[in-house]
Amino acid sequence: MLDAAHGFDCIAPMKTKFFLALMGLALLAVGCVDTVSGSKAGGAPFVKDKIRSRYERPSEEVYQAVKEVIIHDGVLINENTLHGQTNTVNQVLRAVQGKVNECRVWVSVEQISPSVTAVAVQTRTKSGFSDIDLAAQLDKEIALKLVR
């Protein structure tokens, strides 16, 4: 007889190593991500979840378009105005948080110059993963709202 009485001693440690590797991957997949509004949200890091654009419009006009798009497509949850100050410029970042198609949506509006405004649209699903297609759709709707 070979090793019939002892069984297979290598199976138990191999199962343990496999389980630990799976748990390590699960911990890496879930974490905290920064939102464009300056807050934090739970989700999978290291995935593209933002669409950035610039428009040749005043920031107030762009901000109104952003709010109208979020209200039309879903629910507006929160509006923020964050004031930052550097040595030369008073910087104002306006942000909107909402829900569209059961996804969390954050949109920031920042005036770069008197005639140029930057917009960042960020989306996350319930499970914390990115929905970049929805972010692109919302960005396009904002652009179309500004053309009208």
Q: How far apart are CA 90 and CA 84, in angstroms?
A: 6
Higher pLDDT pick, 9 / 1: 9
Closest CA to 109 of 126, 131, 94, 89: 94
Q: Is the dihedral of CA 37, 41, 45, 50 positive or negative?
A: negative
Q: How far apart are CA 138 and CA 148, in angstroms?
A: 16
Whole-number mean pLDDT of the chain?
Answer: 82
Q: How far apart are CA 35 and CA 25, in angstroms?
A: 23
Spell out the residues 6+ positions from residue 6 whose beta carbon is closer than 8 angstroms to its own.
none
Tell me what pLDDT residue 91 has: 65
pLDDT in tens, 106-140: 999 999 988 899 999 999 998 888 899 999 999 99
pLDDT in tens, 83-107: 665 544 556 789 999 999 999 999 9
Mean pLDDT value across residues 46-61: 90
Residue with tokens 């440690």: 13
Higher pLDDT pick, 105 / 24: 105
Q: In angstroms, what CA-CA distances link 44 with 21, 31, 33?
A: 18, 6, 7
Q: How far apart are CA 44 and CA 26, in angstroms?
A: 10
Instruction: Give all domains of the chain, ordered by start, each with its CATH number.
Output: 28-147 (3.30.310)
Spell out the residues 6+ positions from residue 35 whose beta carbon is closer than 8 angstroms to its own.
41, 97, 106, 122
Tell me what pLDDT residue 87 has: 46
